[in-house]
């Protein structure tokens, strides 16, 4: 799951959270060393029954955002809305920097 925000300093940042198996595929190659250490912590959290997620982000340019927004809007009006929206989002959800992880108790 991702969200795009514009900061008060006018930067555009894409934040993404999800399972480690999903986020790992979307990280920059330079992040793999950090991911290795983070996975050790995730394993410890999981052993105690906590539900874990990774959080990642990247800054994008105004042009990248405008291109994404245009493609996403077109996908939203398509007959294959789900598939096309996911394809557009997947193009944006790459080359992330790993920010950290969460671990919460999930009583469900």
Angstrom CA distances, 56 to 70, 73, 81, stand at 24, 24, 26
Predicted local confidence at residue 98, as pLDDT: 94
Tens digits of residue pLDDT in 12-62:
999 999 998 899 999 998 887 888 888 888 888 888 888 889 999 999 999
Annotate 25-56 with DSSP letters as a single string: GGB-GGGHHHHHHHHHHHHHHHHTTEEEEEEE
Average pLDDT, the chain: 91
What burial class does residue 4 get, using C-beta atoms within 10 Å of its C-beta: 0-12 exposed, 13-18 middle, 19+ buried? middle
Is the pLDDT confidence value at 11 over 90?
yes
Cα 92 to the chain's mean position, in Å? 9
pLDDT band of residue 106 (cuts 50, 70, 90) is confident
């Amino acid at each position: 799951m991702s969200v795009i925000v514009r900061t008060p300093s006018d930067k555009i940042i894409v934040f993404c959270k999800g399972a480690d198996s999903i986020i790992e595929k979307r990280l920059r190659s330079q992040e793999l060393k950090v991911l290795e250490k983070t996975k050790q912590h995730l394993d410890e959290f999981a052993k105690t029954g906590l539900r874990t997620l990774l959080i990642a982000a990247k800054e994008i340019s105004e042009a990248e955002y405008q291109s994404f927004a245009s493609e996403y809007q077109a996908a939203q009006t398509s007959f294959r809305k789900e598939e096309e929206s996911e394809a557009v989002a997947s193009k944006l959800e790459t080359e992330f920097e790993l920010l950290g992880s969460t671990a919460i108790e999930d009583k469900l």
